[in-house]
Amino acid sequence: MGVRFQLNSPLPRYLALAGPTASGKTAAALAIAQRWPVEIISVDSALVYRGMDIGTAKPTAAELAAVPHHLINIRDPLQAYSAAEFVADATQLMTGITARGKLPLLVGGTMLYFKALRDGLDNMPRADPAIREAIALEAAQKGWPALHAELALIDPVSAARLAPADSQRISRALEVHRISGQPLSSFQSRVSHAASAGLTSEKTAPGQPSAPCPPVAHKPGSLLISLEPQDRAWLHQRIAQRFDAMLASDFLDEVKALRARGDLHPELPAMRCVGYRQAWEYLDAHKLHGLADLPPISELRDKGIAATRQLAKRQITWLRSMPERQVVACDRPDALAQMLALTADFLHSRHLAEKTGRFDPGTPGCEFAADIT
């Protein structure tokens, strides 16, 4: 590894590797790490949680030991982790990684984090646990479709974007309105002038507006590689294989252990992760009906695979809206070779640009972009 990235060098600020779930991002990232001096920053809202290893397909101990990883196992499932916190953490990490002479490699599929990194965040009210709990109690009494109808009266723009059963986003939209008196859509439609002025994000009390988080991702010399299948059936097969492997690795026991803690509930962000939500509901149904034995595991399998497919579909939709990305067909036999060639060409062109002073920030592949799932 003869390449060393200096903090004051115009070499790439970071490389990003995105793609839908089960597209092979972890293996691709490790292949890059074998060839270049990188440290991996996880861009995954599920991998931040401790004790949630099987259902998140978390990198193995050997994989974590092979190359430095960041933003994995940093929160208890009882805790939330916001996009603003991710931006602050990732920005600090990128500075440190570059100072160590390595290249930050951002890997994941949580598009909200990528969006926050690129665009910054408006000063939206922070979560208020008391209000959120009150909304959850209302939902238990009335049902989420009723709360969706309530949302349609106060924020029709947000309601039109959400399914009546989308509990997480309905809850957040109602929470923002009850805290601020303003619809969530009004915050999302604003351009953050403070971000463009370079203000920094700060910690605030629950319910108070968070300080605008500035964008950091419009940096010349960065590249996004997007792993996308040409054949959707290929991805569906991998999703099914992964879920079967999870079940065979005692995923259900992992969820039972989380439930046995007694302080977790299905409305927590951690328990809303795909797979965990379906497993929690599966175990709830068994408890509710007082069954001596669990229902057929095929019920959990079918729902888990369907939910994962929907997640992948949303991820692909947003990835395809980004013309700046460099696409690698992850279902082709030469996908790994193509990805490594893209990376090598990019780093080589940046090295020549540094020597000749002819680097053009407008060159295709020299800016990173992403958007929300």
DSSP assignment string, 6-46: -TTS-S-S-EEEE--TTSSHHHHHHHHHTTS-EEEEEE-TT
What CATH number belongs to 232-316?
Answer: 1.10.287.890
What CATH number belongs to 129-191?
Answer: 1.10.20.140
Confidence of residue 200 (pLDDT cuts 50, 70, 90): very low
Tokens 């209000």, located at residue: 131
pLDDT at 129: 84
CA dist 213 and 84 (Å) reads 7
Q: Let me know: does 22 contact 234? Beta carbons within 8 Å.
A: no
Give the three-class secondary structure for 107.
strand
Q: How far is CA 257 from the centre of its chain?
A: 24
Does the structure show a pLDDT above 50 at 352? Answer: no
Q: Residue 249 burial by CB count (10 A; 0-12/13-18/19+): exposed, middle or buried?
A: middle
Strand-strand pairing, 15-18 and 38-43? unpaired
Confidence of residue 185 (pLDDT cuts 50, 70, 90): confident
292-307 confidence digits (pLDDT tens): 567 789 999 999 999 9
Does the structure show a pLDDT above 90 at 198? Answer: no
73-130 confidence digits (pLDDT tens): 999 999 988 888 898 899 899 989 999 999 999 999 998 888 788 767 766 777 788 8
Q: Let me know: does 255 contact 279? Beta carbons within 8 Å.
A: yes
Give the three-class secondary structure for 225.
strand
DSSP label of 124 = P
pLDDT at 13: 74
Rg of the chain in Å (alpha carbons): 21
pLDDT at 96: 92
pTM above 0.85, yes or no: no
Does the structure show a pLDDT above 70 at 364? Answer: no
121-166 confidence digits (pLDDT tens): 766 777 788 898 899 999 999 999 999 999 999 999 889 988 898 8
Higher pLDDT, 54 or 198: 54
Q: Give, in order, the Cα–Cα distances in Å from 368 to each of 88, 157, 199, 211.
A: 18, 29, 21, 24
pLDDT at 350: 59
Give the three-class secondary structure for 266.
coil
Phi–psi pair at 63, nearest 5 degrees: -65, -40
pLDDT at 241: 98
DSSP label of 283 = H
**C-beta atoms surrounding 244 within 10 Å:** 13
Provide the b/e sequence for 142-164 (b: ≥16 CB within 10 Å).
eebeebbebbeebbeebbeebeb
Higher pLDDT, 117 or 172: 172
What residues does each domain of the chain span?
A: 15-123+197-230+322-356, 129-191, 232-316
Lowest-pLDDT range, 67-81, 195-209, 254-268, 311-325? 195-209
| CA-wise closest residue to 369 among 326, 339, 324 | 324
- Give me the percent of the chain exceeding a pLDDT of 90: 57
- The mean pLDDT value of the chain amounts to 81
Confidence of residue 188 (pLDDT cuts 50, 70, 90): low
pLDDT (mean) for 325-354: 85
Q: At the fourth CATH level, which superfamily is domain 15-123+197-230+322-356? A: P-loop containing nucleotide triphosphate hydrolases (3.40.50.300)
| CA-wise closest residue to 202 among 105, 300, 121, 108 | 121
